[in-house]
Amino acid sequence: MNILGIESSCDETGVALVSWAGAQRPRLLSQALHTQASMHEAYGGVVPELASRDHIRRVLPLAEQVLREAALGRDAVDLVAYTRGPGLAGALLVGAGTAVALAAALGVPALGVHHLEGHLLSPFLAEEAALAFPFVALLVSGGHTQLMRVEGVGRYALMGETIDDAAGEAFDKSAKLLGLGYPGGPALSRLAEAGDDARHPLPRPLLHSGDLDFSFAGLKTAVMLKARQAATPQDRADLAAAAQAAIVDVLVAKSLRALRESGLRRLVVAGGVGANRRLREQLVAGAAGLGGQVHFPPLALCTDNGAMIALAAALRLQAGLEQGGSAGAFDVQPRWPLASL
Residue 258 vs 308, nearer CB to Zn ion: 308
Rule CB under 6 A: say whether 292 interacts with ligand KG4. Answer: no
Q: How far is the CB of 78 from ligand KG4 (least distance, A)?
A: 27
CB pairs under 8 A, 24+ apart, for 217-225? 217/164, 217/165, 219/170, 219/174, 219/243, 219/246, 219/247, 220/165, 220/170, 220/173, 220/174, 220/177, 223/173, 223/174, 223/177, 223/178, 224/177
Sole binder of ligand KG4 in the list 171, 214, 216, 296 (CB under 6 A): 171
Residue 35 vs 326, nearer CB to ligand KG4: 35
Rule CB under 6 A: say whether 183 interacts with ligand KG4. Answer: yes
Stretch 109-148 residues interacting with Zn ion (CB under 5 A): 141
Rule CB under 6 A: say whether 123 interacts with ligand KG4. Answer: no
Q: How far is the CB of 138 from Zn ion (least distance, A)?
A: 14
CA angle, corner 154, sides to 149 and 159, nearest 5?
A: 20
**Residue 8 binds which entry of ligand KG4, Zn ion, none, with Cβ cut-offs from 5 to 8 Å by kind?**
none
Rule CB under 5 A: say whether 255 interacts with Zn ion. Answer: no
Stretch 83-112 residues interacting with ligand KG4 (CB under 6 A): none
Q: How far is the CB of 214 from Zn ion (least distance, A)?
A: 17
Q: How far is CA 196 from CA 174, 188, 191, 236, 238, in A?
A: 16, 13, 11, 10, 5
Q: How far is the CB of 311 from Zn ion (least distance, A)?
A: 14
Per CB under 5 A, the segment of 26-34, 151-159, 178-186, 304-312 that binds Zn ion is: 304-312
Per CB under 6 A, the segment of 184-192, 283-291, 311-319, 324-332 that binds ligand KG4 is: 184-192
With H, G, I as helix, E, B as strand and everything else as coil, classify residue 40: helix
Helices (H), the chain: 37-41, 48-69, 89-106, 115-121, 167-177, 184-192, 217-227, 233-262, 277-289, 306-318
Nearest to 330 by CA among 155, 97, 135: 97
Q: How far is the CB of 143 from Zn ion (least distance, A)?
A: 7
Q: How far is the CB of 288 from ligand KG4 (least distance, A)?
A: 22
**Residue 218 binds which entry of ligand KG4, Zn ion, none, with Cβ cut-offs from 5 to 8 Å by kind?**
none
Stretch 304-323 residues interacting with ligand KG4 (CB under 6 A): 304
Alpha-carbon gap, residue 237 to 180, rounded angstroms: 11
Q: For residue 5, what are the β-bridge partners?
A: 16, 81
CB hemisphere CA count around 208 (13 angstroms): 1
Task: Find out whether 297 and 272 touch, Cβ atoms under 8 Å.
Answer: no
- A 10 A CB-CB count for 218 gives 15
Interaction mask 244-283, ligand KG4, x per CB under 6 A: ---------------------------xxx-xx-------
Residues forming contacts to ligand KG4 in the complex (CB under 6 A) are: 10, 141-143, 168, 171-172, 183-186, 189, 271-273, 275-276, 303-304
